Amino acid sequence: MPRFERLRQLVSGIGREHVYRTIYDEHYTPLIQGVEDLDFQGLEAFRKVDFQGKHVVDLGCNFGFFAFEAARRGAASVLAVDREANVLQGACLLRDAFGQNTVNFLACDIESPGNCLQGRTFDMAMLVEFMGKTFVRAGLVERTLAFYERLSDKELVLSVQKSYYVRKELGSDMETMRRFYPEAYLHGGAMHLLEYVRDFFKDRWNIQMLSDLAPGYEKPRKFMRLYR
């Protein structure tokens, strides 16, 4: 059987919306198209992080792209968590094909009380492209960041889109957004997520922007590292 045939069969039975990231082999050649292709600039930003010898957790790993990348860059272990068990079956097939046995996958919904990560801590916690439109629109950002922050007291690596146009991208309106976010993050018809995230952490963490920022609207996710 060709190398990735079982993976292709499995993915054909999974709803397309669950194949978030295009699936790549270890040479970054696309194997199966996902909703979003990899942004190589984002990958370059992510690679500025020192993973050597660290025990890492990756929240919302999907098919494990960034978990595998952390392992390739020297992480001692990566626990990659997602609520979609069938997606993780595919991630396990990839892990076996890559021979990356320091990555472990765990099916778990971090929204459920007493979930698999409650009370656990790691050297580093990753939250890559986890909070998208749905999270912002439903006002789930603060709660998600609070849960995420408890997973490491040393280092956090996350990526978010800088801002979202409230009508065009979120399909919402400013009045609804004001219920979830202070006025300071709502201007120019947009919700400014990156500013919100930075301010959420700034009193407790040192912040390193890993991605370059240009003025105005930018769609590619921006990576940042928080450390103590």
Ligand X SMILES: C[S@@+](CC[C@H](N)C(=O)[O-])C[C@H]1O[C@@H](n2cnc3c(N)ncnc32)[C@H](O)[C@@H]1O
- Residue closest to ligand X (Cβ): 60
If the CB atoms of residues 61 and 210 are measured against ligand X, the closer one turns out to be 61
CA distance 135 to 144: 9
Q: How far is the CB of 1 from ligand X (least distance, A)?
A: 26
Taking alpha carbons only, the member of 51, 194, 47 closest to residue 131 is 194
Q: Are 20 and 13 in contact (CB under 8 A)?
A: no
CA distance 48 to 99: 24
Q: How far is the CB of 215 from ligand X (least distance, A)?
A: 25
If the CB atoms of residues 78 and 186 are measured against ligand X, the closer one turns out to be 78
Q: Backbone phi, then psi, for 196, in 5-degree steps?
A: -60, -45
If the CB atoms of residues 64 and 186 are measured against ligand X, the closer one turns out to be 64
Crossing angle of helices 85-98/5-12, nearest 10°? 170
If the CB atoms of residues 115 and 174 are measured against ligand X, the closer one turns out to be 115
Q: How far is the CB of 20 from ligand X (least distance, A)?
A: 4
Q: How far is the CB of 61 from ligand X (least distance, A)?
A: 6
Residue located via tokens 């921006």: 222
Residues near ligand X (CB under 6 A) are: 20-21, 60-62, 65-66, 81-84, 87, 109-111, 128-130, 132
